[in-house]
Structure 1
Amino acid sequence: MSTTPPREQFLLISALGRNPMELTNVLCRASQESRCAVVSSRVSRHGEFSALVFQVSGSWDGLARLEAGLNTLAKRHDFTVHVTRSNAQEVRPQALPYVAYVSAAYRPDVLGELCQFFIDHRVELENMTCDTYMAPQTGSMMLNATITVTLPAGTQISWLRDQFLDFADALNLDALIEPWRPQHP
């Protein structure tokens, strides 16, 4: 008989619904009732809908129980759900977390250009938030983006920072890239 503990498994759940608090509550309770634990979550509003992404961990039978009940919950509480099995995030001890802040007049190509810059420099995306708004003084549509990235080991930071600032200047973006710092309350 084996004495090794069962291998922890993961489930990635994405859901869209109109009420973010109900959506979050329903999925948290379902996870708990299936003896699964929420590892990470993100919820955000987009127009009249909210998007929720959960990663839960648990034993294979707990995850299977949760997965089997999600479609019924989605119908009962009027949300859509998509589920994918996932693995734990790989440990990258040499990677360096950085945050890029961008503010600019809105253009549809800005986010794509930013992503292409980071792809070209082998920088991994960890998190991105982007909002548009009307500037109060001019009425112009503006874009604000915060992009958390991970620089690969061996990256010449000053060179990458210079490349990013030159790139931002060429696109007329107000941009800054700096080391990620934990938020303290």
Structure 2
Amino acid sequence: MSTPTVREQLLVISALGPNPMELTNVLCRAAHDSRCSVVTSRLTRHGECSALVLEISGTWDALARLETGLAPMAKKHGFTVNVVRSAPLENRPQALPYVAYISAAYRSDIVNELCQFFIDHNVELENLTCDTYQAPQTGGTMLNATFTVTLPPGVQISWLRDQFLDFADALNLDALIEPWRPQNPA
């Protein structure tokens, strides 16, 4: 994966289809054939459907070439596609990356309650993963959620951590918030 240069522009492609390998192969090959680069990619499976999000960089004409071919390609391979032009995320050198881990008995309002907490505290969401499963001992439905967030500059971390833990206790959530760490430290 490459980092876009100043002259390059960005395109975000989201696609849904039944075959994750074909979906990824077809879209990455199309980007390469159009002289574009895949900057980031995320693929998740949701039942029989797979969701792929690609951030593609390239010159304006290379991205236009890729955009033009996406609809016919989606029809041919049986997936849906959505495309949006994007700009690079601005540098935020004073912002602090954190991860919040949540585990609880499933309730349909937990994720929106957590989002509202972070909105109320001007915390930006970078990544969210939520999964449900059946607890082996009780058979009850459980939720595991991981929020990767960016704390605004100047926030008092100990205060925010206390606020978050009090909030989680009030909702009967098992929660932890800690600094983000790379998965594969060098």
What TM-score, normalized by structure 2, do the two folds share?
0.95
Instruction: Please name the residue that 1:154 is paired with.
Output: 154
What secondary structure does 2:66 align onto?
helix
- Root-mean-square deviation (CA), in Å? 1.1
Query: Does structure 2 conserve the Cα–Cα contact (< 8 Å) formed by 1:36 and 1:57?
Result: yes
Q: Is the 8 A contact 1:6 1:59 kept in 2?
A: no
Establish whether residue 12 from structure 1 lines up as the match of residue 29 from structure 2.
no
SS of match in other structure, 2:32: helix
Aligned to 1:128: 128
Structure 1 portions without partners, runs of 5+: none
Q: What does 1:18-97 align with in structure 2 at a 5 Å threshold?
A: 18-97=18-97
- Give how far 1:173 is off: 0.1
CA–CA distance in structure 2, aligned partners of residues 80 and 115 of structure 1 = 28
1:100, 1:178 within 8 Å by CA — same for their partners in 2? Answer: yes
**Structure 2 CA distance for partners of 1:172 and 1:6, relative to 1, 3 Å:** closer
Structure 1 residue 8: Cα displacement: 1.2
Give the superposition deviation at 1:51. Answer: 0.5
**Counterparts of 2:57 and 2:184, CA distance in 1:** 26
Deviation at 1:184, TM superposition (A): 1.5
SS of the aligned residue for 2:98 comes to strand
Aligned: 1:100 with 2:104: no
Are 2:164 and 1:164 equivalent residues in the alignment?
A: yes
CA distance in structure 2 between the aligned counterparts of 1:74 and 1:8, rounded to whole angstroms:
25
Gaps of at least 5 residues in structure 2 are none
Percent sequence identity over aligned pairs: 76
Structure 1 residue ranges (4+ consecutive) displaced by more than 4 angstroms after TM superposition: none
| 160 and 78 in structure 1: CA distance in 2 versus 1, 3 angstrom threshold | same
Return the offset for 1:6. Answer: 7.1
What is the deviation of 1:60? 0.5
Scaled by the length of structure 1, the TM-score of the pair is 0.96
Contact 1:17 1:50 in 2 (8 A): yes
CA offsets per residue over residues 53-105 of structure 1, 9 Å max, x none? 00100001100000000011101110000000000111101110000000000
Number of matched pairs: 181
- Residue of structure 1 equivalent to 2:118: 118
